[in-house]
Amino acid sequence: MASKIRYDQINSTDKTGNGTKLVTASGSLTQDVPLLYDASGNAIVSTRRGNTTTYQCADSSTLPTSGNLASFDSSGNLRDSGISPSGGPGGGLGLFSGLITVPTISSSGLTTGWNQAAGFSATNNATGITLTDSATHTGSYLEGIVKTYPATTFTLTTLFSLPYTGQNFEAIGLCILDTLTGKALTFSAIWPASGNLWNFIVDGWNSPTSHNTTPLGRTNAVYSFMWIRLVDNGTTISFQASSDATWWYQVYGISKASSFLGSSGFHYLGAFIETGDTAGGFTIGTTLMSWSGA
């Protein structure tokens, strides 16, 4: 059994509402715990008697600290994962639960609003920070949440959801601002008017509603979510992308002095949405599911 399990978790509550027990093969470890699943989502059931189900794991297993999630190692031993979900804002788990740093507006420091329209909202939830706008806009309209740009070198790693709306020129991603009303550089996924897939793009803006230049045109398809990184070594910046937060490739890189903002234009950093040419009836949005490193 153990060799077939790559990774697993238990939750802090019993999903079935019935009693459960976990034991090693020799029966030396016994404690009431929630339901367990293997990597394929199948319940690992040893025996069931009445309302008590017993699950088996390797003899060297150790129980997680009360309230924490557990994971199986490569030998099938249960270990403490060190993760304790709250179930509230910033406490969710998902596809990349071992990699993500689930943010809240407060924990990320993204507490300053940027060009927020009446229909815009930024809210904490169990999987991150959801940015939405249900208002009608004509032409380009960028809005989001930002913080002061870091003073030292950094690598920012983020995960965004890319929900389908079919709205022309909707964009979701990272923004770097000179001022809250002036120039901006954005790295985002955009939904093109003539396509049916998200694409990466880099844009320079005179203001949140006035486009200036496109240093990198639409390139490479992006799907239902995207890991994107901003790396600043003090002299250059690079935007990177990944499908698993392990293998990264550089989408765009430039010296800060040669960038659209110039070396002195890096004052704010944040997450944004662009509503595109909305004609009403659309709600544009994304969930920022991970934010770490800046």
Choose between 94 and 49: higher pLDDT: 94
Under DSSP, is residue 79 helix (H, G, I), strand (E, B) or coil?
strand
Amino acid identity for residue 164 in this structure:
Y
Domain span(s) for CATH 2.60.120.200 in the chain: 105-292
Instruction: Give, in words, the CATH class of 105-292.
Output: mainly beta
Is-contact 270 145, C-beta < 8 A? Answer: yes
Q: What is the mean pLDDT of residues 267-294?
A: 82
Beta-strand runs (E) in the chain? 19-24, 31-32, 47-49, 52-57, 70-72, 78-80, 112-114, 120-125, 128-133, 142-148, 154-161, 171-177, 184-190, 198-207, 210-222, 225-232, 236-242, 249-255, 268-274, 284-292
Cα of first residue to Cα of last residue in the chain, in angstroms, is: 42
Confidence (pTM): 0.68
Q: What is the pLDDT of residues 152-181, one digit of tens each?
A: 999 999 999 888 766 777 889 999 999 999
Is-contact 270 156, C-beta < 8 A? Answer: no
Confidence (pLDDT) at 9: 33
Is-contact 262 254, C-beta < 8 A? Answer: no
pLDDT higher than threshold 60 for residue 39: no
Q: What is the pLDDT of residues 112-151, one digit of tens each?
A: 999 998 889 999 988 889 999 877 777 788 999 999 999 9
Taking the C-alpha atoms of residue 184 and residue 175, their distance in angstroms, rounded to an integer, is 7
Q: Which of 86-100, 159-173, 213-227, 243-257 has the lowest mean pLDDT?
A: 86-100
